[in-house]
Amino acid sequence: MSGLRLTLTDAGEDFDTAGAAAIAETVVADPKAAVVVATGRTPMGTYGRLARALPAGAGSALRVFQLDEYVGVPPSDPRSLAGWTRRSFVDPLGVDPRSVVWLDGLADDLRAACRAYDDAVTSAGGLDLAVLGLGPNGHLGFNEPPSDPMSRTREAALSKASLASNAGYAPGLPVPRSALTAGLDVLLAARRVVLLVSGAHKHEIVRRTLRGPVTADVPASFLQQHPNLQVVIDRDAWQV
Ligand code: GLP
């Protein structure tokens, strides 16, 4: 794991500040970087901190890619991951939403939508940065176990673990059964990956991700082979 940089923090503000600094490194080095950004609970404080830390407009030229989206959910739906990406990252950084590469979970032809996404990544010259969270079962985006490292962007059925953990995102509304996800191939090919992990409930899956065998059964374990991985993790999760 020679490419691993581990940033161990206290929970809360310290974590958010370190996560924001990690992302800001790429923004400062290349204000037009192609970045894919996760939603979920983990990065919300980080994104807020990032928007406050960057000079106004500094992140507005980023080429943003959505990480995943539920199938059949419009952007206006409270469950939409596009809506969440927009509220938490795109709008606070002043990125033009029309320039974002979205995953269209309402497309008539979902396969074509996924191909268009992969083509957009290729046209961008690949991703400069992937900001990822860690699913409770080791998923990245919705690359559920088992996922081949060459998996393309595609529709994936949500695992029981994902259905359970995502149930709290929009209380009272059912979690859709499937989602589009950026493929492991484009995520693992990102020139830099920042993995954000917080909370004691993640400590076992973090151990399997970073110290366990590299296996499709823990999709995030392929990150062990990534040449430029930064893991920002709080002490609650770091009990490896
Ligand atoms: C969700 C999303 C991922 C997210 C992960 C962790 O299901 N598909 O993109 O990174 O699980 O979520 P959280 O940060 O809420 O723990």
First to last CA, the chain: 15
Instruction: Calculate the average pLDDT of the chain.
Output: 97
Token pair recorded at residue 127: 């991703």
**Closest atom, ligand 1, to C-alpha of 181:** 8
Please tell me the distance between residue 134's alpha carbon and the centre of ligand 1 in angstroms: 6
Please tell me the distance between residue 57's alpha carbon and the centre of ligand 1 in angstroms: 27
| pLDDT tens digits for range 149-191 | 999 999 999 999 999 999 999 999 999 999 999 999 999 999 9
- CA 215 – CA 221 distance, rounded (Å): 6
Which parts of the chain fold into alpha helices (H)?
Answer: 13-29, 44-53, 81-85, 110-123, 160-166, 184-188, 203-211
CATH for 4-234 is 3.40.50.1360
- CA 228 – CA 53 distance, rounded (Å): 23
| pLDDT tens digits for range 119-153 | 999 999 999 999 999 999 999 999 999 999 999 99
Q: Are strands 229-234 and 154-157 parallel, antiparallel or unpaired?
A: unpaired
Give the residue, out of 139, 180, 196, with the most ligand 1 atoms within 8 A of its beta carbon, to mutate for a pocket test: 139
Please tell me the distance between residue 3's alpha carbon and the centre of ligand 1 in angstroms: 23
**Residues identified as active-site:** 68, 137, 139, 144
Take atom 12 of ligand 1 and give the residue whose Cα is closest: 40
Domain ranges of the chain: 4-234
pTM over 0.85: yes
Q: How far is CA 108 from the centre of its chain?
A: 25
Nearest to 59 by CA among 26, 85, 88: 26
